[in-house]
Amino acid sequence: MDSLYVNKAVAAVLTAGIAFFVTGLLGDELIRVEVPKKPAIVIASAEPAKAEGGAKKEGPDPIEPLLASADPEAGKAYTKTICVACHNFQEGGANGVGPDLYGVLGRKIASKPGFDYSSALKAKQGVWTYDELNEWLYKPAAFAPGTRMSFAGLPNDKTRANVIAYLRSLSHNPEPLPKPTDVPKQAAAAAPAGGEPAKPSFDAMLVSADPAAGKAYTKTICVACHTFDKGGKAGVGPNLWGVVGAPHGHMAGFDYSSALKSKQGPWTYDELNQWLTSPAKYAPGTRMSFAGIPSEKTRANVVAYLRTLSDNPEPLPKVEGATPAKAEAPVAAGGGAAAKGGDTPPPMTDKGGPASGTPEPASK
Ligand code: HEC
Ligand code: HEC
pLDDT, tens digit (0-9, with 9 covering 90-100), for 318-351 = 776 555 443 333 333 333 333 333 333 443 333 3
Query: Residue 233 carries which DSSP code?
Result: P
N-term to C-term CA, the chain: 35
Q: Ligand 1 within 6 A of 101 CB?
A: yes
Distance, CA 291 to ligand 1 centroid (Å)?
Answer: 21
Name 247's bridge partners.
266
Residues 170/89, Cβ–Cβ less than 8 Å: yes
With residues binned 3-state (H G I as helix, E B as strand, rest as coil), the percentages for the chain, rounded to 5, are 40, 0, 60
Ligand 2 atom nearest 272 alpha carbon? 29
Phi, psi for 47 (deg, rounded to 5): -55, 130
Which are the contacts of 323, defined by CB distance < 8 A and separation ≥ 6?
none
* Spatial distance between the Cα atoms of 171 and 174, rounded to a whole number of angstroms: 5
SS3 assignment, position 201: coil
Q: State the pLDDT at residue 54.
A: 38
Ligand 1 atom nearest 110 alpha carbon? 27
Distance, CA 25 to ligand 1 centroid (Å)?
Answer: 43
Distance, CA 127 to ligand 1 centroid (Å)?
Answer: 15
Angle, nearest 10°, between helix axes 296-308 and 211-220? 100
- Ligand 2 mutation pick, 290, 296, 358, max ligand atoms within 8 A of CB: 290
- Ligand 2 mutation pick, 288, 297, 310, max ligand atoms within 8 A of CB: 288
Ligand 1 atom nearest 118 alpha carbon? 17
Which-ligand-closest: CA of 298?
A: 2
Distance, CA 253 to ligand 2 centroid (Å)?
Answer: 15
Which-ligand-closest: CA of 129?
A: 1
SS3 assignment, position 308: helix
Q: Ligand 1 within 6 A of 4 CB?
A: no
Ligand 2 atom nearest 259 alpha carbon? 18
Burial class (CB in 10 A: 0-12, 13-18, 19+), 136: buried
List of domains in the chain: 2-48+199-339 (1.10.760.10), 64-190 (1.10.760.10)
Which-ligand-closest: CA of 7?
A: 2
* Spatial distance between the Cα atoms of 230 and 240, rounded to a whole number of angstroms: 8
Distance, CA 290 to ligand 2 centroid (Å)?
Answer: 8
* Spatial distance between the Cα atoms of 12 and 304, rounded to a whole number of angstroms: 17
Tens digits of residue pLDDT in 127-158: 999 989 999 999 999 999 999 998 989 988 89
How many CB atoms lie under 10 A from the CB of residue 343?
13
Where does ligand 2 bind, in terms of residues with CB under 6 Å?
Answer: 218, 221-222, 224-226, 236-238, 240, 243, 248-251, 256-257, 259-260, 276, 283, 286-290, 293, 302
Nearest CA to ligand 2 atom 3: 225
List, for the chain, all residue ranges whose pLDDT scores fall below the cut of 70: 1-58, 179-200, 320-364
Q: What are the CB-based long-range contacts (under 8 Å, 24+) for 217-225?
A: 217/43, 217/293, 217/298, 217/301, 217/302, 217/305, 217/360, 218/302, 218/305, 220/359, 220/360, 220/361, 220/364, 221/290, 221/357, 221/359, 222/290, 222/302, 225/288, 225/290
* Spatial distance between the Cα atoms of 30 and 264, rounded to a whole number of angstroms: 29
